[in-house]
């Protein structure tokens, strides 16, 4: 009896938390919502046409999304149940669509086209405002798939839904670390609608990518990978040349460092050099005018990587882990995120079934402690972070990467800490060298400014010994 009561209370606890944290918010009119908790991510498939050197899906897909969960018919069936349930219950979260190279796979198109059909039949109040799909854009190598994507964009737009793609390619000089998987593994599964040649990503391909994003107003989200750092200055200028060619604003670039454990001192130093480079490039673009440069940093988001240390979020972690509900469609598991789908890490499962024309939903909670702990923790209180000078400005590590490398999602990876320290130090040092550090930091919260002041003081005293990353 005691065990049964304990389980009942855990179910009630977990379900009540999800209701208060997400579902009640998703029912509100958009103008009344807390935007920090307004997203649902549908994790569709781990298959990908690329074999990126730094990608966890590429390395661990069988553990993250086991083969037995990849039945295409079941995935589409589950997706239809989820969408019908959302509509039925008046829930309208914004939706992220996660998969390896989604716009080349049959199952991903079937899910997206099903969503378009369902939302076309639904009232406007239960439609999402946007659906976001990260993609490496290799679908542009196929005219047929490009036309299919254009139909999705137009179809959702007619419903008042922004169907937005995020250009998740790293650029001409860094794609050597993101080879097409065909070259490495041979033919992919029958689930793919298109197979590109290994050397298909030429200048004409990239020209299509920039033209496509200009047409639809989509953004670019390359990753700063440790081994790619020797190429990033040239790569950045390549992006800017193409932005200028296609009439795209120069700040349409969202840069994020890969927080894997493999950063070497040389690569960390090169990252610092790159940070210095893009600050000086932007300062010149802003005509060395402080008000224009502040607008670049705080309104145009400073390529993300420059604004991140200067701003705060309304959550305990800067990434979307605490703002999204993540759902793996293969088994309807509620998971911490797409990098933490390992067996035993699930929060629980959605149990959906159709009964007399209605979708019945029962939420099974398997780990209420982790569910509540993950959505409520503050990374500033992690081990080591608690007493760190950088904690109010740090992006903090990726909990999935920390789980893989440290065996604990809350324990920072030492090389990532070193990288984050030097990245922020070089940013504030460059501001100081340009004579704008005090003007910029006056805008910051007292906690953030105090941490940056101390980091700058300690770093300046330590050079060229403790903070010397290149011999």
Interhelix angle 106-120/72-88, rounded to 10 degrees, is 20
pLDDT of residue 429: 96
Q: 198 pLDDT exceeds 80? A: no
Integer Cα distance of 443 and 301 in angstroms: 15
In contact, 161 and 125? CB cutoff 8 Å: no
- Contacts with 416 (C-beta within 8 Å, 6 or more apart), sequence order: 259, 260, 261, 263, 397, 401
Q: 182 pLDDT exceeds 70? A: no
pLDDT band at 357 (very low <50, low <70, confident <90, very high): confident
Distances, alpha carbon 9 to alpha carbons 18, 325, 370, 462, in Å? 14, 22, 15, 54
Please compute, for residue 364, the number of CA atoms within 13 A of its CA located in the half-sphere on the CB side: 9
Integer Cα distance of 50 and 350 in angstroms: 31
Q: Identify which of 320, 228, 304 has the alpha carbon closest to the alpha carbon of residue 266.
A: 228
pLDDT band at 102 (very low <50, low <70, confident <90, very high): very high
User: Angle CA(157)–CA(158)–CA(159) in degrees, nearest 5?
Assistant: 85
What's the mean pLDDT in 171-181? 91
β-bridge pairing 348-355 and 333-335: antiparallel
Domain locations in the chain?
2-221+304-376, 379-462
- Contacts with 140 (C-beta within 8 Å, 6 or more apart), sequence order: 146, 205, 208, 209, 212
Q: Identify which of 39, 405, 68, 49 has the alpha carbon closest to the alpha carbon of residue 200.
A: 49
pLDDT band at 192 (very low <50, low <70, confident <90, very high): confident
Integer Cα distance of 134 and 336 in angstroms: 19
Tokens of 71: 């039945």
Q: 267 pLDDT exceeds 90? A: yes
As to burial, measured by CB atoms within 10 angstroms (0-12 exposed, 13-18 middle, 19+ buried), residue 361 is middle
pLDDT band at 203 (very low <50, low <70, confident <90, very high): very high
pLDDT of residue 469: 45
pLDDT of residue 247: 97
- Contacts with 326 (C-beta within 8 Å, 6 or more apart), sequence order: 41, 43, 334, 335, 336, 337, 338
Q: 184 pLDDT exceeds 50? A: no
In contact, 167 and 220? CB cutoff 8 Å: yes
Peptide bond into 464 cis (omega under 30): yes
In contact, 416 and 379? CB cutoff 8 Å: no
The size of the chain, in residues, is: 471
Using one digit for the tens of pLDDT, what is the confidence trace for 141-152? 999 999 999 999
**What is the distance between the terminal CA atoms of the chain, rounded to a whole angstrom?**
67
């Amino acid at each position: 009896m005691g065990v049964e009561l304990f389980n009942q209370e855990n179910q009630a606890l977990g379900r009540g938390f999800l209701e208060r944290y997400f579902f009640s918010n998703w029912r509100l009119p958009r103008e009344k919502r807390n935007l920090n908790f307004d997203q649902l991510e549908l994790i569709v498939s781990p298959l990908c046409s690329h074999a990126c050197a730094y990608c966890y899906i590429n390395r661990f897909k069988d553990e993250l999304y086991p083969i037995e969960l990849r039945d295409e018919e079941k995935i589409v069936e589950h997706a239809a149940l989820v969408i019908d349930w959302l509509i039925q219950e008046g829930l309208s979260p914004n939706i992220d669509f996660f998969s390896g190279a989604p716009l080349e796979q049959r199952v991903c198109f079937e899910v997206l086209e099903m969503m378009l059909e369902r939302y076309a039949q639904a009232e406007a109040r239960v439609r999402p405002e946007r659906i976001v799909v990260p993609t490496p854009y290799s679908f542009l190598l196929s005219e047929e798939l490009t036309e299919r994507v254009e139909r999705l964009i137009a179809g959702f737009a007619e419903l008042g839904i922004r169907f937005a793609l995020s250009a998740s390619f790293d650029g001409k000089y860094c794609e050597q670390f993101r080879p097409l998987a065909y070259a490495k593994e041979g033919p992919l599964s029958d689930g793919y609608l298109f197979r590109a040649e290994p050397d298909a990503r030429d200048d004409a391909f990239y020209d299509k990518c920039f033209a496509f994003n200009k047409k639809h107003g989509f953004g670019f989200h390359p990753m700063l990978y440790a081994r790619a750092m020797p190429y990033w200055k040239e790569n950045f200028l390549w992006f800017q040349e193409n932005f200028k060619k296609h009439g795209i604003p120069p700040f349409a670039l969202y840069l994020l460092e890969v927080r894997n454990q493999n950063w070497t001192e040389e690569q960390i130093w090169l990252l610092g050099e790159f940070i210095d480079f893009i600050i000086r490039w932007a300062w010149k673009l802003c005509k060395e005018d402080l008000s224009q440069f502040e607008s670049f940093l705080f309104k145009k988001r400073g390529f993300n990587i420059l604004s991140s240390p200067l701003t705060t979020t309304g959550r305990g972690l800067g990434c979307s882990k605490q703002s999204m509900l993540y759902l793996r469609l293969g088994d309807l598991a509620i998971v911490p995120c797409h990098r933490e789908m390992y067996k035993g890490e699930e929060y629980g499962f959605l149990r959906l079934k159709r009964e007399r024309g209605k979708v019945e939903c029962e939420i099974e909670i398997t780990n209420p402690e982790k569910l509540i702990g993950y959505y409520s923790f503050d990374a500033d209180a992690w081990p080591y972070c608690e007493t760190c000078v950088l904690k109010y400005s740090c992006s903090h590590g990726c909990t999935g990467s920390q789980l893989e490398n440290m065996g604990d999602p809350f324990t920072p990876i030492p090389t990532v800490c070193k990288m984050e320290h030097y990245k922020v130090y070089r940013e504030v040092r460059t501001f100081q060298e340009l004579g704008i550090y005090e003007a910029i930091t006056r805008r910051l919260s007292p906690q953030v400014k105090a941490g940056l002041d101390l980091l700058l003081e300690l770093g300046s005293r330590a050079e060229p010994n403790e903070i010397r990353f290149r011999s």
